Chain A
Amino acid sequence: MSQLPSMRERRRYVLVRFEPERISLDPREVYAAVADACTSLWGDTQASEISPSVMAWEGHAIIRCRRGTEDRLATALATITRVGGERVALRTITTSGTLHAIRSRVFPRSELLWERKVGIGDRVFLARAYSGQKVDLIEEGIKSQELLFFADEDGEVR
């Protein structure tokens, strides 16, 4: 149903960054996690008031909500620990009233500096170093692929 521009609901857009950065998430799963976090924290009534919708791409997502509910949405986002079974954190970067303004705040992903195998104890990890002194370690194996987070000054990855 079309509405007069003056009668349309005011929306706000929240830009979030995923951590770990290189994780690829299905936007539908991001939406499910956001909707679940809103409902679990605020209940059905307030979740329907927030009315979140998600637009996600590599490393980032823009989450739309009703104006005036952006703080409640950001609080719910802070309670998300998993998306589709993957451990993840959603870092709120900024909130804006227009998509145009929020897109200008998206910053490029950290640069991959080097990649090599390292051993910790009897386990072997693939170490990926990114700009900002960050080194992510992905365990090599079929059964469990543990993810560890180190810095380039840590003895384990030198």
Chain B
Amino acid sequence: MPLIDGCIHPYPAGDSSIRRMALTARELGFDQVVAAGGSGDVPGVLRGSIVTVPSVKGVVSMLQGIPRGEGVVMVSSGDLAFNRGVIGLRGVRVLRGIHRSPRGAFNHVAAKEAEAKGVAVELDLSPLVEERGVRRQKAVSRYRELLDLHRRYHFPLTIASNARSILAQRSVRDMVLLAGIFGMEEAEVMAALSSLDSVLVGRSPVQVVRE
């Protein structure tokens, strides 16, 4: 399974071109990266679209503008009602920015729905790298809660550097160490880094079970 950095933000959003970030990602042990707003013609780069609107209605209308099957659609999370509404939408692959949402914005009900719909929840490592003090502590505590839910309800997780520069990209080993801060085991990190592949395939309404 390919190891994928869940989201990067290349030039002009950041200071590094998509090709340079893809080169750096390869050096750091990744097979692919998801580039927000990036083109899909660079080897090892998946096109990503970030939807940041405050209402589910707004997300629906934004999704209509994105061709079906066109890369990874990531929606910035909100409160619990918003998150549950978004998880149910066709085409949404990743719920991102959970650490910025209010406490309780992703509970056991949302976790069950995410598992049923095959929607991944992003663990953004940038607050662990760039923040200090209370902000980092909040992110660590939110990720710990999320990890508990993941262990219980098995919804997919993705891990993203959300780097805007090659200087903010981190290696696979760094990600294992950083995720260890909130108690994630190495095997769980590797599973999260390779989960996007199966999330993108999606879940068919009918599953064939071999006996």
A interface residues (Cβ-Cβ under 8 A, vs B): 19-20, 40-41, 71, 74-75, 78-79, 81, 87-89, 91-92, 132-135, 146-151, 153-154, 156
Report how far A105 CA is from B67 CA in the complex, Å: 48
B117 interface residue (CB < 8 Å to A): no
B177 partner residues in chain A, CB cutoff 8 A: 71, 74-75, 78
Specify which of A41, A88, A151 is in contact with B23 (CB 8 Å cutoff): A151
B interface residues (Cβ-Cβ under 8 A, vs A): 11, 15-17, 19-21, 23, 28, 128-130, 132-133, 165-171, 173-174, 177-178, 180-181
Specify which of A41, A78, A89, A150 is in contact with B20 (CB 8 Å cutoff): A150
Report how far A133 CA is from B27 CA in the complex, Å: 12
New A-B contacts (10) at CB < 8 Å, excluding given A74-B177, A149-B15:
A71-B180, A74-B173, A78-B177, A79-B128, A79-B178, A81-B130, A92-B171, A146-B15, A147-B15, A149-B166
Q: A74-B177, A79-B129 are in contact. Are A87 and B167 (CB under 8 A)?
A: yes
Cβ-defined contact, A78 with B166, below 8 A: no
A interface: dominant SS = mixed
Specify which of A40, A89, A153 is in contact with B168 (CB 8 Å cutoff): A89
B19 partner residues in chain A, CB cutoff 8 A: 133, 150-151, 153-154
Task: Count A-B contacts at CB 8 Å.
Answer: 73
A92 partner residues in chain B, CB cutoff 8 A: 171, 173-174
Specify which of B17, B129, B133, B171 is in contact with A149 (CB 8 Å cutoff): B17
- Chain A: minimal CB distance from B177 (Å): 4
A148 partner residues in chain B, CB cutoff 8 A: 11, 15-17
